Amino acid sequence: MAQSFDLILRNGMVVTPNGTARTDIAVHHGRIAAIGGLGGASAAEETDLRGLTVLPGVIDTQVHFREPGLEHKEDLETGTRAAAQGGVVAIFEMPNTKQSTTTGEAILDKLARARGRAWVDHAFFIGAASDNIDHLAEWERIPGCAGIKVFMGSSTGNLLVADDQTLGAVLAQGFRRIAVHCEDEGRLIERKHVAEEGAHPRVHHHWRDVETALMASKRLVALAEKARRRVHVLHVTTAEEMDFLAAHKDLATVETTPQHLTLAAPECYERLGTYAQMNPPIRGAQHRDALWAAVASGVVDVLGSDHAPHTREEKDKPYPQSPSGMTGVQTLVPIMLDHVKQGRLSLERLVDLTSAGPARIYNLSGKGRIAVGYDADFTVVDLKAEKIITNDWIESRCGWTPFDGMKVTGWPLATIIRGQTVMRDGQLLGAAAGEPVRFQECR
């Protein structure tokens, strides 16, 4: 008797743990039910993907959606629309606003507000602060909580864990991997004069210099070793940090971003001004080259977009009044596919950085690979498509990207989440039906 499924994807080049090959995928009840030649099977929906490539659903483990619900800011609806349009099936949202998520109740509230508004699957971090340390071990296990986020240096918002005593206390609470923004607050204050009023944005990476990042990463690792706590160092930007972290992979995993792999100072600041401003900053080409070397050697575990949108009105303020941050969730896939085309990494390595890596680091349940029993999450791409990224394509409410006008080869054509096609050929389909991401360490 012929098998019957909900969905069959036929004839795509599919990237599985067993290699990349042309094959079929069957989906039943939101999960992958079979992989292989399914010529005798039928389904309620069948799609021929001949000529296209099927990746495990891309997961963006670092986005910031700013002030929810305000018309001129990003929110869950617009931010996840951007994710779906860019081929991303799940996002982990991190707090860094004045209304930061610092309690278990706030996590539950965000999860409730995401129902019917989030286009992709989602999880939310809790921001560590001096007044919530005693609750972190309990709250980090709330289903839908991605873990704890720490700011060692001030960025956007009011979260800051600057001193070793407080950071050590945070690391001592709980057991899940902690995500950390590593910039040394004392050195930022000491060097603030570099970013004096009226300065050009090109000084941004001189103010927040290499030593600012390296000092914080060294402090974090020393305290993590003392506490025996796993840590995840976010958006690493320097050659020196990569060399240091390579020697501490027993506890520390490493993220970098498409922006830091693509842009370089001083050119980006001359061309984009404050629109190139983010924390940690875009640095010189020698650091970009070092990041690529760390990708090639395996030191980098994951890519996150650090999507942190601001309106043009905000970004047009004179430096340093201008806020740091840029869009990224929608451009992660096409930017990185173009790097694949240019030979800077393999397609399989990209999958490791954007699907298997997030699953491994955060102990996800049912996501991160194309395998029987896993969620039917797929990012369908055309590796040969030549497109130009434009501001008009951006779904984020702010409506701009630092990659406006960039020609890329490789483009997301469909986003499929738990067997439901959410985006096809640039059009969002159906209704927002994202669900909380499941974690093995959450009760």
Q: Which residue numbers are catalytic? A: 306
- Is residue 295 within 8 Å of residue 258, measured between CB atoms? no
Helix (H) or strand (E) holding 409: strand 407-417
Helix (H, G, I), strand (E, B), or coil: what is residue 335?
helix
Rounded CA-CA distance 307/290 in Å is 22
Structure tokens at 403: 């990659």
Beta strands in 152-296 (DSSP E): 178-181, 231-233, 252-256
Phi then psi for residue 311, to 5 deg, are: -70, 160
Q: Which neighbouring-strand residues pair with 93?
A: 63, 124
Rounded CA-CA distance 100/94 in Å is 9
Using alpha carbons only, give the angle 260, 261, 265 rounded to the nearest 5 degrees: 55
Give the Cβ contact number of residue 373 at 10 Å: 8
What's the order of all strands across the beta sheet hosting 58-63? 58-63, 88-93, 121-127, 145-151, 178-181, 231-233, 252-256, 302-303
How distant, in Å, are the alpha carbons of 19, 206, 211, 353, 437 from that of 346?
Answer: 12, 33, 32, 11, 27
- Nearest alpha-carbon partner for 378 in 18, 25, 42, 36: 25
Rounded CA-CA distance 144/135 in Å is 17
Rounded CA-CA distance 127/101 in Å is 6
99: amino acid identity, one letter: Q
- Is residue 366 within 8 Å of residue 376, measured between CB atoms? no
Structure tokens at 1: 């008797």
How distant, in Å, are the alpha carbons of 118, 247, 254, 336, 429 from that of 112?
Answer: 10, 41, 31, 33, 22
17: amino acid identity, one letter: P
Rounded CA-CA distance 355/16 in Å is 11
**What crossing angle do the helices spanning 164-171 and 210-227 adopt, rounded to 10°?**
50
- Is residue 119 within 8 Å of residue 422, measured between CB atoms? yes
**Residue in this structure with the two tokens 């029987």, named with its chain if needed:** 372
